[in-house]
């Protein structure tokens, strides 16, 4: 599909009237580049500490503070062209009227004019690929996208082929990697594994590659289930791994040797009591998605449900717990 990308520069005082004008013409999605906000983020004036800050943003923050960029997109069709002409006409009237000082007097010539570029979604729909390369998630598990070739570099290395979709779980987040590490140490040949909140299916696939005989992944989001099924098929695990829609343990009759849940501390606490009935004798519960500051609450809930904490692992601000 083709789009018209419209870029306007405006003074800070003119931003609100400009957005009102665009809203009147049905433009509800805007990208606003305000150098003042970027500079504040870069200087950490808001009290936040960033692990990563794109250098391109720093360059944008160095732009003149009296120039704000406003961008939006219109479809490249007759309706989009009509709306663009109407907007350009109103901008021209404003620029030549008594409101010029409000909108753009402080800007260089060309302020408050709409610059248009014709775009195709082909330009950005695959941009993410440059950031997703094969990587080692655990000692034995490597994750790779389908569009990259990769040969196992070590004996016993297991490769998960995974493309990001509309579901959580590429393996790069600390919580997913923590779960995978604990799974790697826990899965025995033929084990049954329950993946609660399976997202992309990465942990379900990991369990199967590590030797599990039967894996059930459940997720409340139907889109995530569809993504998980595609990934399961792509990894040749459909004979051992199923994914279906489900709300935590509701209506579940699956008995597991291992249950894994990469959710939140509150959901882990809510699961703890009912999960005992879904684990076989000697079963293991691997839980993550727990901020370190909430680890005590999760531990208390698990112990109150009769679990013994066998191991706790940390990565960044996140915690994973292995309970038996």
Q: What is the pLDDT of residues 7-52, one digit of tens each?
A: 988 888 778 888 888 888 888 888 888 887 777 766 654 444 444 4
The band of 153, judged by pLDDT with boundaries at 50, 70 and 90, is confident
Same domain, yes or no: 181 and 203 = yes
In terms of domains, do 47 and 148 share one? no
Query: Between the ranges 135-139, 191-195, 222-226, where is the mean pLDDT highest?
Result: 191-195
Q: How far apart are CA 108 and CA 303, in angstroms?
A: 66
Whether the predicted pLDDT of 104 surpasses 50? no
**Number of domains present in the structure of the chain:** 2
CA distance 25 to 33: 21
Q: Which residue has the tokens 């995974």?
A: 162
66 and 133, same structural domain?
Answer: no
Residues 180 and 283 in one domain: yes
Distance CA 89, CA 165 (A): 41
Beta strands, E only, 171-278: 192-196, 214-219, 241-245, 256-262
**Residue 167 shares a structural domain with residue 66:** no
In the predicted structure, residue 284 carries a pLDDT above the cut 60: yes
Helix 222-234 and helix 202-209, axial crossing angle in degrees, nearest 10: 30
Q: Is the pLDDT of residue 122 over 80?
A: no
> What CATH number did the domain enclosing 266 receive?
3.40.50.150
- Identify the band that residue 172 occupies on the pLDDT scale cut at 50, 70 and 90: confident
- How big is the CA angle at 70 (ends 58 and 96), to the nearest 5 degrees? 125
Highest mean pLDDT among 9-13, 111-115, 166-170, 192-196: 192-196
pLDDT of residue 80: 87
Domain match, 221 and 249 both: yes
Give burial (CB, 10 Å; 0-12/13-18/19+) of 7.
middle
Q: Of 70-74, 88-92, 192-196, which range is least confident?
A: 88-92
Quote the pLDDT of residue 301: 95
Among 97, 123, 149, the domain-final residue is: 123
Domain closes at, from 123, 154, 181: 123
CATH code of the domain containing 65: 3.30.70
Are both 147 and 99 inside the same structural domain? no
List 286's β-bridge partners, or say none: 260, 322
Q: What angle do CA 193, 196, 197 make, to 5 degrees?
A: 135
Which residues form the domain of 8? Answer: 2-123
Q: 191 and 284, same structural domain?
A: yes
> What b-and-e string marks burial along 79-117, b requiring 16 or more CB atoms within 10 Å of the CB?
ebeebbeebeeebeebbeeeeeebbbebbeeebbebeee
Q: How many CA atoms, within 13 angstroms, populate the side-chain half-sphere of residue 96?
A: 6
Domain end marker among 123, 140, 170: 123
Asked if 169 and 259 sit in the same domain, the reply is: yes
Residue 84 backbone dihedrals phi, psi, to 5 degrees: -65, -45
Residues 162 and 231 in one domain: yes
Q: Is 138 in the same domain as 282?
A: yes
Q: How sure is the predictor about 281, in pLDDT bands with cuts at 50, 70 and 90? A: very high
- Do 146 and 107 sit in the same domain of this protein? no
């Amino acid at each position: 599909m083709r789009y018209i990308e419209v870029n306007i520069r405006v003074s800070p005082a003119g931003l609100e009237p400009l957005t009102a004008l665009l809203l009147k013409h049905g433009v509800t999605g805007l990208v606003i580049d305000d150098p003042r906000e970027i500079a504040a983020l870069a200087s950490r004036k808001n009290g936040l500490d960033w692990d990563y800050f794109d250098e391109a943003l720093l360059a944008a923050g160095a732009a003149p503070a009296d120039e704000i960029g406003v961008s939006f997109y219109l479809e490249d069709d007759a309706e989009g062209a009509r709306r663009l002409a109407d907007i350009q006409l109103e901008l021209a009237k404003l620029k030549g009227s008594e409101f010029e000082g409000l909108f753009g007097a402080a800007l260089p010539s060309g302020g408050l004019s709409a610059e248009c570029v014709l775009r195709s979604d082909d330009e950005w729909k695959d941009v993410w690929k440059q950031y997703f390369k094969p990587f080692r998630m655990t000692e034995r598990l490597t994750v790779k996208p389908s569009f990259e070739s990769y040969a196992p570099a070590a004996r016993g290395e297991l490769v998960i082929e995974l493309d990001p979709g509309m579901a959580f779980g590429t393996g790069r987040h600390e919580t997913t990697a923590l779960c995978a590490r604990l799974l790697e140490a826990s899965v025995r040949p033929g084990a049954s594994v329950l993946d609660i909140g399976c997202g992309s299916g990465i942990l379900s696939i990991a369990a199967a590659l590590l030797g599990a005989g039967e894996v059930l992944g459940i997720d409340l989001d139907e889109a995530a289930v569809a993504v998980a099924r595609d990934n399961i098929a792509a990894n040749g695990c459909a004979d051992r791994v199923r994914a279906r829609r489900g709300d935590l343990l509701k209506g579940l009759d699956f008995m597991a040797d291992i249950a894994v849940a990469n959710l939140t501390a509150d959901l882990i606490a809510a699961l703890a009591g009912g999960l005992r009935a879904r684990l076989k004798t000697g079963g293991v519960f691997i839980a993550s998605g727990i901020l370190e500051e909430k680890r005590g609450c999760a531990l208390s809930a698990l112990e109150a449900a009769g679990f013994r904490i066998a191991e706790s692992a940390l990565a960044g601000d996140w915690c994973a717990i292995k309970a038996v």
